[in-house]
Structure 1
């Protein structure tokens, strides 16, 4: 075994050399350097956090926009469905009118109204032109697509208080001169089962009516 003896002088020399080397370092710059390193790290972390937050905000805004669009579409669909239900019964009320020759030499209107809905309609008012009222109103026992083939029953009054589901009624006008008959086309106003007032003209155009059936 080799034993190396180090003299006390050599050890002292090495200690002196190490002390000199350590004394040569500018320890005053180390805290500044460490502070700069930590500051740079903190700045990088802040930049990363800010970028991450921006991504999250952008994703949240996109999600909110998509949700808002979906809600808008759902509301539009609900409104359309509600509007369709609102018009549903009124669209099943049909009116057919024929301008016919009268025995007096004039002409008159014969109008058949059919309620094809599953609920009654009320307060039926028929007008010929702006002012003329029906001269006769008849129950229809058997309605035909050609109203001349419909089987009429008892005489009813006008305005007609109610027309049940699946029922029909015929209104006859008075006799007019031909040109007056042509300008006195029939129109119907009625109230549906939801209390909405409607007007149906000779051309089959259905609109809401603001008139008061009791006035």
Structure 2
């Protein structure tokens, strides 16, 4: 049996130690890479969840913003002025517009525009008796600065020839309880009026 060459033993020991250290370093780097990959996946999932939550919050805020405005309604009709010998209306000469606040909060600066330039000639509060009886209600100034929950107002245009009446359809303008300004046209199209534009 040959004697161990001790001169080579320290080299072997150093080689084994270096190999163990390299293996340990490799395992550490591999573990860190796996952790970084998992962290990136977690961050990506969290970012996606936050984006979805933001979308849902925006949708809920948008729905809340439109909620009151959608509860303000306008019913309109052309009304007559000319009658035949039997009292039947033969020509319509003005608009009557009924505005109802069906929301739980007041609306502000309520007004009706006819066509592009005409404003209501008369505005009345509408008590419940006015809907079925002859009570016209109390005469109000326009615009109505505050129309409370459940209240109805009636706007009456000036009198025109029949063709002019039809060409000057009503448009409702109001601000909700948050101060957002809205317009509602005679076809039921509700739009937010951009900030800075006047009612």
Aligned residues: 190
| Post-superposition offset of 1:51 | 0.8
1:165-189 Cα offsets, whole Å, 9 max, x none, are 1000111112222332222110011
Match of 1:179 among 163, 170, 185: 163
Q: Which segment is superposed worse, 38-47 or 170-179?
A: 170-179
Within 2, Cα distance between the matches of 1:128 and 1:60?
62
Q: Conserved in 1, the CA contact under 8 Å of 2:101 and 2:151? A: yes
Q: Does 1:108 align with 2:87?
A: no
| SS at 2:164 equivalent | helix
The Cα RMSD (Å) is 2.3
Give the TM-score normalised by the residue count of structure 2: 0.85
Gaps of 5+ in 2: 84-90
- Unaligned runs of at least 5 residues, structure 1: 1-20
Say whether 1:82 aligns with 2:82: no
Deviations 1:138-167 (A, max 9, x none): 2211289xx787963122222222211100
**Residue 14 (structure 2) aligned to one of 35, 46, 60:** 35
- 67-76 or 52-61, which moves further after superposition? 67-76
| Stretch of structure 1 that moved more, 184-193 or 24-33 | 24-33
Q: Cα gap change, 1:150/1:65 in structure 2, threshold over 3 Å: closer, same or farther?
A: farther
* Moved >3 Å (runs of 4+): 147-152, 210-213
Determine which structure has the larger strand proportion and give its number.
2
Is the contact made by 2:107 and 2:146 (CA closer than 8 Å) also made in structure 1?
yes
